[in-house]
Amino acid sequence: MLTIGELSRATGVKIPTIRYYEQMGLMAVAERSGGNQRRYESHDRERLSFIKHARDLGFTIEAIRELLELSAHPDRPCVDADEIAVRQLQAVRNKIAKLRLLEKELDRMTSRNHDDQVKHCYVLQSLANHDMCVSEHQRP
């Protein structure tokens, strides 16, 4: 049996996050000791490691919930898990595309010639007037 602190150290997941995952239903509510300490078993550590890895890859809580549900039914087709992963891949590709637009715009803004006075600073002028940008960009 592991305490929440031991589980945290074993997985690299912070204690408040473990509690959050319990509240969200991704982790089963832990058994309690006589002293009211949470107690976890090895399968809880494995599940939390799965969740952490999925979060590290950017999966949403809902997608992780779907993947955990699939993993509980080993006879279901793997294509269901593949579809969830493909959705995440597309989301990552969309973010990369947006980041490339941001990179181009920031590169353009910072490569302009100007004198040393703030009143002629192209960066500040561009930030004040979005019409000076050459691409439509938003933070991903």
The position carrying tokens 């997608």 is: 63
Which residues of the chain fall short of a pLDDT of 50?
Answer: none
Asked, for residue 43, whether it belongs to a domain, the answer is yes
Query: What pairs with residue 2 in β-bridges?
Result: 40
Residue 138's pLDDT is 66
CATH code assigned at 34? 1.10.1660.10
Give residue 25's domain range.
1-59
Residue 86 lies in a domain: no
Work out the end-to-end distance of the chain between its first and last CA atoms, rounded to an integer number of angstroms. Answer: 41
Rg (CA), the chain: 23
* Any domain includes 22: yes
Q: Give the Cα separation of 45 and 29 in Å (integer).
A: 13
Q: Which residues contact 22 (CB under 8 A, 6 or more apart)?
A: 28, 29, 30
